[in-house]
Amino acid sequence: MIEFWNQKVTENFTEVASDFHQILSEADSPSPTPENLQDPKFVTMWFYIKLSPLLPYIPIDLLTCLSSNSFSCPAYQTLVALLSKHLGYWDFHSMHHQNIYTHFISPFLWHQNMSETCFSANNSKEWLEKNFGSFSQVANITDFYELNPYFSGLEVLDLLSPKQTAQLMVLPLPTPPEKEEIVREVFDFLLEDPRERKLTEVLYEAFQLATRLNVSCAVYKPILEELQDVILSVPPDMESTVRQMIEYLLQLTPEECVLENIKCLNIQVNGMVSFGYLSFDMENTIHLQSLRHIL
């Protein structure tokens, strides 16, 4: 095996992964027993022998096979933690993360008879980290709510991607609190550090959702109200971008959802506060594609 590896290290990685997959699938490499699948220590050893040589690319058919195995929850969580650790060199939104989530993590969590152990975490943050690891970034926020009836997105804001944070504000959710409270807490979180917490990216993702969905006034109103404070709270170098985003959101918002006091926003310019109506002239609309270039 060592000689084989030394021979292959300089070849195309996909070919190496294919060769390993063939070797590890041979008849003299026995499958784990049901007892093995309950044991986190065995799963750790099995990971380093079977899976780590294939990283970052694990064939989809192998991931699908993994999802159908009856791992215990501790063994499954051990495997997720190992995959998260060893894929840490790749971007969270890479094809590798998406494949592992789509073909292993998601079907395993949906279709296996989950024991109480998998839901024994003290809070949503612990549950998310144990069962999804870094792969939580490529899920939809609604996946978490559907899998765990006790999940709260507000408890895990620091673990969500900009897209998931926007989904939390815009998409219908099965559990309380109301949208007004969710939107308020999300903006409070973002404004603690607008740049580090990617305020403009969250707004962009919210606009993307608004262009595709039939968004109700119950969503538009609290977001517009919060944006009145945002325009006064962001750093000066972000103000222009945020104002353009507000203009675009107003263009998307049905007239019945826009209160009169929302149309007239306090705008901070060079440290001074001025007052003015945002333009509704379609010729001055900031198109969504333009916002993407700004970000």
- Residue 167: CB atoms within 10 A of its CB come to 20
- 107 domain-assigned: yes
Q: What is the pLDDT of residue 247?
A: 85
**Does one domain contain both 147 and 213?**
no
- 84 domain-assigned: yes
Show Cβ contacts of residue 165 under 8 Å, excluding neighbours closer than 6 positions: 157, 186, 190, 202, 205
Q: What is the pLDDT of residue 172?
A: 92
Q: Select from 97, 126, 160 the last residue of a domain.
A: 160
- 25 domain-assigned: no
**Does one domain contain both 132 and 203?**
no
**Does one domain contain both 141 and 205?**
no
Helix or strand holding residue 20 (H, E)? helix 13-24
Q: What is the pLDDT of residue 91?
A: 65
**Does one domain contain both 152 and 179?**
no
**Does one domain contain both 184 and 278?**
yes
Domain count, the chain: 2
Euclidean distance between CA atoms 229 and 191, whole angstroms: 9
- 206 domain-assigned: yes
- 17 domain-assigned: no
**Does one domain contain both 39 and 138?**
yes
Whether residue 228 contacts residue 266, with contact meaning beta carbons closer than 8 Å, is answered with yes
- What SS3 class is residue 258? coil
pLDDT, tens digit only, all 295 positions of the chain: 444 444 443 344 344 345 444 544 444 456 778 889 999 999 999 999 989 999 888 999 999 999 999 899 899 999 999 999 998 776 666 788 999 999 999 999 987 655 555 776 678 999 999 999 999 999 999 999 988 888 999 999 999 999 999 999 999 998 888 999 999 999 999 999 999 999 999 999 999 999 999 898 999 999 988 988 888 889 999 988 888 888 888 888 888 888 665 555 544 444 433 334 343 333 333 444 455 555 5
90: containing domain = 31-160
**Does one domain contain both 212 and 247?**
yes
Whether residue 109 contacts residue 131, with contact meaning beta carbons closer than 8 Å, is answered with yes
